[in-house]
A and B are shown apart, each in its own frame.
Chain A
Amino acid sequence: MNPEQKTVGTVLQGEGVSIALEDVTVFYGINPAIQNVTLDIYSNTVTAFIGPSGCGKTTLLRCINRMNDMITTTQITGAIRVFGEDVRKIDPIELRRRVGMVFQRPNPFPTSIYENIALGLRVNGFRGNISDQVEKYLRLVGLYDEVKDRLKMNALQLSGGQQQRLCIARTLALEPEIILMDEPCSSLDPISSIRIDNLITQLKKYFTVVIITHNLQQAARIADWVAFLKVVEAEGARFGVLGEYATSTDFFTKPSSIDAYNYINTRIG
C-alpha cells in the first residue's frame, strides 16, 4: 500500500460522522435480529462489520439505506442518521442514490454492460454525459480495458469477479456518499477478491465504505474501523448486539472482550 494513501486514511479518520446509529433494534415479526446498537461511522473510512453468521450484520447494513423497507415484517426502532439526517425523513429513492449498496452475490441487470450502469444514471436523472460517466467508472473499477469492445454484451456473460466489479461501478457511478457492501468478495476467487480489496482502500478517498466480511484477513487489510457483532441469548430469543467497536489495529491486536478474542482466534488460528 502506498504511504500517501495511508495518511489520507488516518488524517480523515474521525473527522466527521457519516452514519450515526443510535440504539438501533430490529425485529423480524416478533423475533429480534439485533438489539441496541449504537455506533458512529466516520467519513472517508472503511468500517468492517464482522461477527458470526446470523448475528445481524446484513440486517444492520440494510437499515442504513432502508432496504429493509422491502421486507414487510421488519420493525426498526432507534435512530439512524446519515450525514445528520434521519433516514426515515429522507425519501428512500434519494437515500439509495446517496447510499449505494453492493451485494454478496454479483447481481448485474440482465442487460448489456453499458446499460447496467446507464440505467441507474437515467432513473436518477443524471445531468451529465451518460457514456462518459459509464466509461469513467468502468475505468475506476479496472473493468474498462477488459470490456471496452463489448459494452453491448450481456453482463451475465462476464466472469463472477468482473460482474461484481461492474456492480461496484454501477453503484459508484451514482456518486453516492456512502457505499454499503455485504460480503462483496465471498463468491469470488482470491485474485478477483484482492482486486476489489485494493479498489476499496482507494475508494475511501471519496466515499465512506461499510463492508461486511467473514474474512478476517480482508478486514484487517482494508478496514480502519471494526464493528464486532456477537450473538446473545436472552429470554429464549437469539439476537445480535454490538460486541466491540474499535480501530482495526486495536481490534486485531488487543481485543477487549473475550468473545472478540475467541472469534478472531477461531477464525485465524
Chain B
Amino acid sequence: MVAPELPELGNGSLEKGRWASDHRVVNFWEGVFALTTAILATIPILVFLAIIVFMVYDSVEFFRSYLEEGKAAGATIWQFFTDREWTVMFEPPEGERRRIGVISLIIASSIVALIAVAVAAPLGVLMSVVVTHYLPKRLNYFITPVLNMISGVPTIVLGAFAFSSFTPALQKIFPQIQPYNLLVSGLLVGLFVTPTVLGIGVSAINAVPRSYFEAAYSLGMRKYEYILNIVLPTVFPALIAAFTLAFSRAFGETMIPVLASGLTPQFTFNPLQAGQTVASFIFQAATAAVGFDTLEFKSMFATGLVLFLLTFALNSVGNLSRRRFAAQIESLGVSKVEEGTGSLPGEETFYALGERMTGIEFKRNDSLRALGGAIFAGLSYASLVPTFLLLLFLTVSNFRQGARYLNGKFFTQFADPDPEQAGILAALVGNLWLVLLVLVILIVVGLGAAIFLEEYAEIFLFKVFRNRKVVQWVETLLEINLDNLSAIPTIIYGVLGTELFIRTMKMGRSVLAGTLTLAILALPFVITTFRASLRNVPATLRYAGYAVGMSKSQVILRIAIPYAFSGLTSGVLLAATVTMGETAALGAVVGSLGLISFTPFNNPEGRGPFLSQFVTIPLQIYIWATKPTTEPLAAAAIVVLLTILLILGALALFTANLFQSKTYES
C-alpha cells in the first residue's frame, strides 16, 4: 500500500484572506430568509382565523336578518335547532317566516356519511390487508396507485355518473328508488373516501412490528388467523381514526350529493328519497344568483359554520387518535437492547404478543381453518373489485357517451347553446391558466411555510416559550391544525373566498379570486407534503453542509431542497390534480354559472387575464351535466379532464418514485 504523496501546499495556503465570505453578511441574509419564511408560514394561520371570523360574523348577520324578516311570524334563533324544515331559499308568504331547521340538512349529510363509511370501512380495511399481506410487492406498485385514483377523480365526475348512470341502473332493480336519492350519494361517496381508510390502514399495518409476525407464525397461526387475531386488533385504534376521518370527509362532500340527491331539503331518514345535505345546500346558495345582502346569501355562512364545526371536531378527534396510535406502535416495536438495561431483545414485544394470544385456543380442525383462510383471502381480494369496476365504468361510459364530440372542433370552440357547435376552449384555457397561477402561489407560499415549520419553528417557538413541553404541544397543535385545514370541505373555502376576495377585497368573480381561493384550499395539503419531503433529507447530509461552513439557509437552499426536489415536484403535481378538478369551491366563486364564451386572454370587457371572468372544465361539466340535451358534452369533457388528470397523476407518481430510487446511503 503506497501512501499518497502529500503535495506541497505552498506558502499562503492557510491564510484567512483567501476566504472572502463575511459571516455578518451571511447572517444578515440568514435573518432575511428566516423572516420571509416566518411571514409565509403565518398565512395558513391567517386563513384559519379568517374562516372562523367570517363564518361567525356572517352567521350573526344571518340570524339578525332572519329575526328581522320573520319578526311578525315569531322568529327566534332557536328555530335553527327546533325547526324540522329548511326553506331558506323560498320567499315566505306574507305573515309567515322561513323554516331554518338545519337538522334536516344535518340528517341528510349524516345519512350519506354513514352509508359512505359502511362502504369505505370494510372495503378500506380489506384492501389494506390485501395490499400489505396478499399481493406481491411488485404488483403493489401498480395496484395501490390505481386504488387511490378514485379519490383523485373530481367529484363532479362521480356525481354526474351517479345521476346519469348509476341511479337509473339501480332503479331497474329497485323501482322504489327516487331519481334523486341519498343512497346513491352515500355509495359513491363511500368509494370516493375508501382511499382515506386504505392509506391509514396500510401505514398502520406496516407499522406492526415484524416480531409479532414471527412469533405468530412460530406458534402455528395461519395467515388469516394472524391478521384477524393480531394485526387488526393491534391497528384497531388507527382504523377507528380512519373511519372518523372518512366520515368527516363524506359528511362535507359537495358535488356528489348536489348531482345525485337533488337540491330539495327534506326531513327524512329514508335513504331512498331525495334530500339536501349541508354542503350541497351551501353550494346551491353560493351559486344562486342572489345579492350579497340577502338572507339566502348569508345563510351559507350559518350552514358553513355548522359544517365547519362538525367536520373540524371529527377531524381533530381522528387526527389526534391517529397520532396517538402512531406514537404507541413505535414504542411497541422497539425492544431496547442498550447495554446494561438487562432486558432481552424482543422481550417487550414478546409480552405484548402474549397478551394478544390469550384468547386463542387450540383449534384442531385443520380443514375448517384452511377454508377460513380461503374465504378470508377471497373476501380481501373481492374488496378491490368495486373500485376497479367503478373506474372502468367511468372511463367506458363517458367515452361511449362523449365519443361523438371528441374531435378537434371540441377543443377549438367555445361553449354554445347548440350542442353541435359547443366546445371546451374557454374551460380548458381557463382551467390551465388558473392551475398555473395557483401553482406559482403554492410553490412560493407553500415552500416558505414548509421551510419555516420544518426547519425554524422549533427554535423559534423555544425562544418564545422557553419550555420544551409547551413547544411540543404548540407544534402538535400546528400540525393537527394543518391536517384539519386540509380536510375541511372544499365548499367552505369557496364560501370564504367569496366573502374575502370578492365581497371584501372587491376582486369580482375573477380569475384572481378563483386562483386565491384554490391556493388557500390546497395550501395546507401542499405544506404537509413539502414538509414530509424536507424531513426525508438525511440529517447526515445537513451536517455535511454545516461542517463546510454553510449557514442554515444555505443548507436548506443548496442541500435540502435539491435533495428533496423530486418529492417537492411530486407534491406540486398532486396539488395540480387537486386544483384542476376542484368544482365546489370554484362554483361558489363563480356564482351563477352562465355561458362563458371567451378565454381570460381575450375577454370582451378587456379586463386582462387576471380580472377576467372564467370557467373551468369541472364547472363546464356541471353546467352540461345538469341538462339532458348536453349530457354527452359533459361526458366528452369528463374524458378530457380525466385524461389530463391521469397524465398529471402519472407524472407525480413517476417523480415520487424517482425520489425513492435515489436513496442516500446513510
Q: Given contacts A72-B462, A73-B468, A126-B18, is CB(A171)–CB(B665) below 8 Å?
A: no
Docked CA distance A156–B559 (Å): 14
Cβ-defined contact, B558 with A100, below 8 A: no
Interface residue B23 (Cβ < 8 Å from any Cβ of A)? yes
Cβ-defined contact, A107 with B9, below 8 A: no
Q: Given contacts A105-B540, A123-B558, A205-B6, is CB(A156)–CB(B664) below 8 Å?
A: yes
Query: Looking at the complex, which one of A54, A72, A142, A202 makes contact with B458 (CB distance below 8 Å)?
Result: A72
Cβ-defined contact, A127 with B3, below 8 A: no
Cβ distance B523 to chain A, nearest Cβ, rounded Å: 27
Cβ-defined contact, B543 with A107, below 8 A: yes
Render A36-56 as a binary contact track against B, CB cut-off 8 A, 1 for contact: 000000000000000001100
Query: Looking at the complex, which one of A91, A101, A203 makes contact with B547 (CB distance below 8 Å)?
Result: A101
**Size band of the A side of the interface?**
35 or more
Cβ-defined contact, A103 with B543, below 8 A: yes
Q: Given contacts A93-B27, A105-B666, is CB(A199)–CB(B3) below 8 Å?
A: yes
Docked CA distance A53–B548 (Å): 27
Cβ distance A142 to chain B, nearest Cβ, rounded Å: 3
Cβ-defined contact, A93 with B544, below 8 A: no
B18 contacts across to A, CB distance below 8 A: 126-128, 175
Q: Given contacts A107-B541, A108-B544, A194-B1, is CB(A120)–CB(B549) below 8 Å?
A: yes
Q: Given contacts A123-B554, A195-B1, A205-B6, is CB(A109)–CB(B545) below 8 Å?
A: yes
Docked CA distance A92–B548 (Å): 11
Cβ distance B550 to chain A, nearest Cβ, rounded Å: 5
Cβ distance A157 to chain B, nearest Cβ, rounded Å: 11
Render A68-81 as a binary contact track against B, CB cut-off 8 A, 1 for contact: 00101100000000
Cβ-defined contact, B558 with A97, below 8 A: no
Interface residue B19 (Cβ < 8 Å from any Cβ of A)? yes
Interface residue B219 (Cβ < 8 Å from any Cβ of A)? no
**Size band of the B side of the interface?**
35 or more
Cβ-defined contact, B548 with A120, below 8 A: yes
Docked CA distance A101–B550 (Å): 13
Docked CA distance A53–B27 (Å): 36
Cβ distance A41 to chain B, nearest Cβ, rounded Å: 18
Cβ-defined contact, B549 with A70, below 8 A: no
Cβ-defined contact, A191 with B1, below 8 A: yes
Which chain B residues (425-479) contact chain A, with CB distance < 8 Å? 458-459, 462, 468
Docked CA distance A194–B18 (Å): 32
Cβ-defined contact, A97 with B19, below 8 A: yes
Cβ-defined contact, A126 with B19, below 8 A: yes
Cβ-defined contact, B468 with A202, below 8 A: no
Cβ-defined contact, A70 with B546, below 8 A: yes
Cβ-defined contact, A109 with B7, below 8 A: no
B666 contacts across to A, CB distance below 8 A: 105, 107
Docked CA distance A141–B7 (Å): 10
Interface residue B4 (Cβ < 8 Å from any Cβ of A)? yes
What would be 14 A-B contacts, judged by CB atoms less than 8 Å apart?
A65-B547, A73-B468, A93-B21, A96-B547, A100-B548, A103-B544, A109-B541, A109-B544, A124-B21, A124-B548, A127-B17, A194-B1, A195-B1, A195-B3
